[in-house]
Amino acid sequence: MKTISENRCYGGTQGVYSHASDSCNCEMTFGVFMPEEAAHGPVPVLWFLSGLTCTHENAMTKAGAQAWAAEQGIALIFPDTSPRGADVPDDDAYDLGQGAGFYIDATTAPWDKHFKMWTYVAEELPALVGENFALDMDRQSICGHSMGGHGALTMALALPGRFRSVSAFAPICNPLNSEWGRKQFTAYWGADESQWGPHDASVLMQGEGFDGPILIDTGTDDQFTALLGTPALAQAMAEKSQQGTIRLQKGYDHSYFFIATFMEDHVAFHAEALYA
Protein backbone atom coordinates (compact mmCIF):
# COMPACT_ATOMS: atom_id res chain seq x y z
CA MET A 1 0.00 0.00 0.00
CA LYS A 2 1.33 3.43 -0.98
CA THR A 3 0.55 6.68 0.79
CA ILE A 4 -0.40 9.40 -1.72
CA SER A 5 -1.31 12.07 0.82
CA GLU A 6 -2.25 12.54 4.46
CA ASN A 7 -3.79 15.74 5.81
CA ARG A 8 -4.86 16.81 9.29
CA CYS A 9 -8.65 16.96 9.27
CA TYR A 10 -11.06 17.69 12.17
CA GLY A 11 -8.51 16.41 14.66
CA GLY A 12 -7.96 13.23 12.67
CA THR A 13 -6.33 12.38 9.36
CA GLN A 14 -7.71 12.28 5.83
CA GLY A 15 -5.48 10.02 3.77
CA VAL A 16 -5.38 8.87 0.16
CA TYR A 17 -3.72 5.55 -0.65
CA SER A 18 -3.16 3.22 -3.58
CA HIS A 19 -2.32 -0.44 -4.03
CA ALA A 20 -2.03 -3.12 -6.66
CA SER A 21 -5.42 -4.82 -6.73
CA ASP A 22 -5.58 -8.53 -7.42
CA SER A 23 -9.30 -8.50 -8.14
CA CYS A 24 -9.25 -5.50 -10.50
CA ASN A 25 -5.84 -6.30 -11.98
CA CYS A 26 -4.68 -2.68 -11.80
CA GLU A 27 -3.64 0.03 -9.36
CA MET A 28 -6.58 1.18 -7.22
CA THR A 29 -6.88 4.37 -5.17
CA PHE A 30 -9.03 4.96 -2.08
CA GLY A 31 -9.48 7.46 0.73
CA VAL A 32 -9.62 6.82 4.50
CA PHE A 33 -10.55 9.31 7.18
CA MET A 34 -9.38 8.28 10.65
CA PRO A 35 -10.83 10.24 13.59
CA GLU A 36 -8.71 11.30 16.55
CA GLU A 37 -10.04 8.38 18.62
CA ALA A 38 -8.20 5.91 16.37
CA ALA A 39 -4.97 6.84 18.14
CA HIS A 40 -6.30 5.04 21.21
CA GLY A 41 -7.80 1.94 19.61
CA PRO A 42 -9.96 0.56 16.77
CA VAL A 43 -12.93 2.69 15.68
CA PRO A 44 -16.13 1.73 13.82
CA VAL A 45 -16.28 2.04 10.04
CA LEU A 46 -18.62 3.79 7.60
CA TRP A 47 -18.16 3.04 3.90
CA PHE A 48 -19.22 5.60 1.28
CA LEU A 49 -19.74 4.30 -2.27
CA SER A 50 -19.85 6.99 -4.93
CA GLY A 51 -21.84 7.23 -8.14
CA LEU A 52 -21.33 7.34 -11.89
CA THR A 53 -18.33 9.36 -13.18
CA CYS A 54 -16.95 9.74 -9.64
CA THR A 55 -13.64 8.67 -8.14
CA HIS A 56 -12.74 8.22 -4.46
CA GLU A 57 -12.27 11.98 -4.33
CA ASN A 58 -15.79 13.32 -4.98
CA ALA A 59 -17.43 12.34 -1.70
CA MET A 60 -14.16 12.80 0.18
CA THR A 61 -14.00 16.50 -0.78
CA LYS A 62 -17.67 17.45 -1.33
CA ALA A 63 -19.90 15.50 1.07
CA GLY A 64 -18.70 17.14 4.29
CA ALA A 65 -18.75 13.78 6.04
CA GLN A 66 -15.49 14.16 7.97
CA ALA A 67 -16.86 16.80 10.35
CA TRP A 68 -19.72 14.57 11.45
CA ALA A 69 -17.62 11.39 11.49
CA ALA A 70 -15.05 13.13 13.70
CA GLU A 71 -17.83 14.16 16.07
CA GLN A 72 -18.97 10.52 16.31
CA GLY A 73 -15.49 8.90 16.33
CA ILE A 74 -16.15 6.96 13.12
CA ALA A 75 -13.72 6.14 10.29
CA LEU A 76 -14.76 6.78 6.68
CA ILE A 77 -13.65 4.74 3.68
CA PHE A 78 -14.05 6.11 0.15
CA PRO A 79 -13.35 3.48 -2.55
CA ASP A 80 -13.07 4.30 -6.23
CA THR A 81 -16.01 3.44 -8.49
CA SER A 82 -14.15 1.29 -11.03
CA PRO A 83 -10.75 0.04 -12.14
CA ARG A 84 -8.67 2.59 -14.03
CA GLY A 85 -5.61 2.82 -16.25
CA ALA A 86 -4.49 2.83 -19.86
CA ASP A 87 -4.90 -0.94 -20.11
CA VAL A 88 -8.40 -0.94 -18.56
CA PRO A 89 -11.24 -1.01 -21.13
CA ASP A 90 -13.50 2.02 -21.34
CA ASP A 91 -16.45 3.39 -23.28
CA ASP A 92 -17.23 6.81 -24.71
CA ALA A 93 -20.46 6.94 -22.69
CA TYR A 94 -20.25 8.36 -19.16
CA ASP A 95 -22.31 5.50 -17.72
CA LEU A 96 -20.22 2.54 -18.88
CA GLY A 97 -16.61 1.55 -18.32
CA GLN A 98 -14.23 3.57 -16.19
CA GLY A 99 -16.17 5.44 -13.52
CA ALA A 100 -19.12 3.08 -13.93
CA GLY A 101 -18.19 -0.24 -12.30
CA PHE A 102 -21.71 -0.65 -10.85
CA TYR A 103 -20.29 -2.67 -7.93
CA ILE A 104 -20.63 -6.00 -9.72
CA ASP A 105 -18.16 -8.58 -11.11
CA ALA A 106 -18.12 -8.60 -14.93
CA THR A 107 -18.08 -11.98 -16.65
CA THR A 108 -17.87 -10.99 -20.34
CA ALA A 109 -14.98 -9.61 -22.42
CA PRO A 110 -13.45 -7.08 -22.47
CA TRP A 111 -14.68 -6.15 -18.99
CA ASP A 112 -14.06 -9.39 -17.11
CA LYS A 113 -10.30 -8.92 -16.74
CA HIS A 114 -10.60 -5.78 -14.58
CA PHE A 115 -14.20 -4.99 -13.63
CA LYS A 116 -14.54 -6.96 -10.39
CA MET A 117 -15.86 -4.21 -8.16
CA TRP A 118 -18.05 -6.47 -6.02
CA THR A 119 -15.07 -8.61 -5.03
CA TYR A 120 -12.93 -5.52 -4.60
CA VAL A 121 -15.28 -3.63 -2.27
CA ALA A 122 -16.74 -6.65 -0.48
CA GLU A 123 -13.53 -8.63 0.03
CA GLU A 124 -10.18 -7.21 -1.08
CA LEU A 125 -10.39 -3.64 0.20
CA PRO A 126 -11.89 -4.58 3.61
CA ALA A 127 -9.04 -7.02 4.14
CA LEU A 128 -6.47 -4.38 3.19
CA VAL A 129 -7.82 -1.58 5.39
CA GLY A 130 -8.42 -3.99 8.25
CA GLU A 131 -4.73 -4.88 8.24
CA ASN A 132 -3.41 -1.34 7.89
CA PHE A 133 -5.69 0.88 9.98
CA ALA A 134 -7.08 0.84 13.54
CA LEU A 135 -10.56 -0.23 12.45
CA ASP A 136 -13.14 -2.27 14.33
CA MET A 137 -14.29 -4.46 11.43
CA ASP A 138 -17.00 -5.98 13.64
CA ARG A 139 -18.74 -2.60 13.54
CA GLN A 140 -19.35 -1.57 9.94
CA SER A 141 -22.08 0.40 8.19
CA ILE A 142 -22.42 1.47 4.56
CA CYS A 143 -23.74 4.46 2.62
CA GLY A 144 -23.77 5.45 -1.03
CA HIS A 145 -25.01 7.86 -3.68
CA SER A 146 -26.82 6.98 -6.92
CA MET A 147 -24.88 4.03 -8.42
CA GLY A 148 -23.11 3.88 -5.06
CA GLY A 149 -26.48 3.80 -3.33
CA HIS A 150 -27.26 0.76 -5.45
CA GLY A 151 -23.97 -0.77 -4.33
CA ALA A 152 -24.55 0.04 -0.66
CA LEU A 153 -28.07 -1.41 -0.62
CA THR A 154 -27.17 -4.59 -2.52
CA MET A 155 -24.11 -5.26 -0.37
CA ALA A 156 -26.08 -4.73 2.82
CA LEU A 157 -28.80 -7.09 1.60
CA ALA A 158 -26.52 -9.74 0.10
CA LEU A 159 -23.94 -9.85 2.90
CA PRO A 160 -26.01 -10.60 6.02
CA GLY A 161 -24.29 -9.74 9.26
CA ARG A 162 -21.66 -7.52 7.62
CA PHE A 163 -23.26 -4.10 8.13
CA ARG A 164 -25.22 -2.77 11.09
CA SER A 165 -27.02 -0.10 9.05
CA VAL A 166 -27.32 1.11 5.45
CA SER A 167 -28.24 4.46 3.98
CA ALA A 168 -28.32 5.98 0.52
CA PHE A 169 -28.73 9.27 -1.30
CA ALA A 170 -30.86 8.95 -4.46
CA PRO A 171 -29.97 5.29 -4.96
CA ILE A 172 -30.64 3.26 -8.10
CA CYS A 173 -33.19 0.98 -6.45
CA ASN A 174 -34.42 -1.17 -9.33
CA PRO A 175 -31.67 -1.48 -11.97
CA LEU A 176 -33.26 -4.52 -13.62
CA ASN A 177 -35.98 -2.16 -14.83
CA SER A 178 -33.89 0.92 -15.56
CA GLU A 179 -31.52 2.09 -18.27
CA TRP A 180 -29.12 2.64 -15.36
CA GLY A 181 -28.74 -1.06 -14.81
CA ARG A 182 -29.92 -2.93 -17.87
CA LYS A 183 -27.31 -1.23 -20.06
CA GLN A 184 -24.45 -2.04 -17.69
CA PHE A 185 -25.65 -5.54 -16.82
CA THR A 186 -25.91 -6.36 -20.54
CA ALA A 187 -22.37 -5.11 -21.15
CA TYR A 188 -20.77 -6.71 -18.09
CA TRP A 189 -22.79 -9.97 -17.96
CA GLY A 190 -24.00 -10.46 -21.55
CA ALA A 191 -27.44 -10.30 -23.14
CA ASP A 192 -28.71 -13.54 -21.55
CA GLU A 193 -30.66 -12.24 -18.56
CA SER A 194 -30.65 -15.67 -16.96
CA GLN A 195 -26.94 -15.09 -16.32
CA TRP A 196 -27.51 -11.77 -14.55
CA GLY A 197 -26.90 -11.67 -10.81
CA PRO A 198 -29.50 -10.58 -8.27
CA HIS A 199 -27.87 -7.15 -7.87
CA ASP A 200 -31.13 -5.26 -7.49
CA ALA A 201 -32.15 -3.87 -4.10
CA SER A 202 -35.88 -4.14 -4.83
CA VAL A 203 -35.53 -7.81 -5.76
CA LEU A 204 -33.17 -8.63 -2.88
CA MET A 205 -35.54 -6.95 -0.44
CA GLN A 206 -38.17 -9.55 -1.36
CA GLY A 207 -35.87 -12.21 0.08
CA GLU A 208 -34.57 -11.98 3.63
CA GLY A 209 -34.57 -8.19 3.82
CA PHE A 210 -31.98 -6.41 5.95
CA ASP A 211 -31.40 -7.10 9.63
CA GLY A 212 -31.00 -3.47 10.61
CA PRO A 213 -32.26 0.04 9.85
CA ILE A 214 -32.33 1.65 6.39
CA LEU A 215 -32.39 5.38 5.60
CA ILE A 216 -32.90 6.71 2.07
CA ASP A 217 -33.06 10.34 0.96
CA THR A 218 -34.08 11.33 -2.56
CA GLY A 219 -34.79 14.85 -3.83
CA THR A 220 -38.17 15.69 -5.34
CA ASP A 221 -36.33 17.67 -8.05
CA ASP A 222 -33.85 14.90 -8.83
CA GLN A 223 -33.22 15.09 -12.56
CA PHE A 224 -32.81 11.31 -12.75
CA THR A 225 -35.98 10.31 -10.90
CA ALA A 226 -37.21 8.07 -13.72
CA LEU A 227 -33.98 6.04 -13.58
CA LEU A 228 -33.89 5.45 -9.81
CA GLY A 229 -36.90 3.15 -9.26
CA THR A 230 -37.62 4.41 -5.74
CA PRO A 231 -41.29 3.27 -5.76
CA ALA A 232 -40.24 -0.35 -6.42
CA LEU A 233 -38.02 -0.41 -3.34
CA ALA A 234 -40.64 1.38 -1.23
CA GLN A 235 -43.20 -1.26 -2.18
CA ALA A 236 -40.78 -4.11 -1.47
CA MET A 237 -39.89 -2.63 1.93
CA ALA A 238 -43.55 -2.20 2.83
CA GLU A 239 -44.40 -5.77 1.82
CA LYS A 240 -41.43 -7.04 3.85
CA SER A 241 -42.23 -4.85 6.87
CA GLN A 242 -38.62 -3.72 6.62
CA GLN A 243 -37.34 -1.35 9.30
CA GLY A 244 -36.46 1.77 7.36
CA THR A 245 -37.29 5.27 6.21
CA ILE A 246 -37.52 6.75 2.71
CA ARG A 247 -37.59 10.56 2.74
CA LEU A 248 -38.46 12.67 -0.30
CA GLN A 249 -36.65 15.95 0.24
CA LYS A 250 -38.54 18.85 -1.34
CA GLY A 251 -36.65 20.83 -3.96
CA TYR A 252 -33.39 18.90 -3.82
CA ASP A 253 -31.67 17.41 -6.87
CA HIS A 254 -29.00 14.73 -7.50
CA SER A 255 -25.98 16.86 -6.62
CA TYR A 256 -23.45 16.89 -3.79
CA PHE A 257 -25.19 20.00 -2.45
CA PHE A 258 -28.06 17.64 -1.65
CA ILE A 259 -25.72 15.08 -0.10
CA ALA A 260 -23.88 17.64 2.02
CA THR A 261 -27.20 19.01 3.32
CA PHE A 262 -28.28 15.68 4.82
CA MET A 263 -24.91 14.07 5.57
CA GLU A 264 -25.13 14.94 9.26
CA ASP A 265 -28.39 12.99 9.47
CA HIS A 266 -26.85 9.96 7.79
CA VAL A 267 -23.72 9.87 9.95
CA ALA A 268 -25.82 10.23 13.11
CA PHE A 269 -28.11 7.46 11.85
CA HIS A 270 -25.15 5.13 11.40
CA ALA A 271 -23.56 6.16 14.70
CA GLU A 272 -26.67 5.05 16.56
CA ALA A 273 -26.36 1.58 15.00
CA LEU A 274 -22.58 1.35 15.31
CA TYR A 275 -22.58 2.23 19.01
CA ALA A 276 -25.68 0.23 19.94
Q: Among all residues, which ones are annotated catalytic?
A: 146, 222, 254
- Give the angle 104-105-110 at the CA atoms, nearest 5°: 120
Find, among 111, 86, 115, 143, the residue nearest to 21 by Cα: 115
Under DSSP, is residue 108 helix (H, G, I), strand (E, B) or coil? coil
Burial 40-63 (b: 16+ CB within 10 A, else e): eebbbbbbbbbbbebbbebbbebb
* Torsion sign across C-alpha atoms 67, 74, 78, 215: negative
Cβ atoms of 109 and 94 closer than 8 Å: no
Cα-Cα-Cα-Cα dihedral sign, residues 188, 193, 197, 203: positive
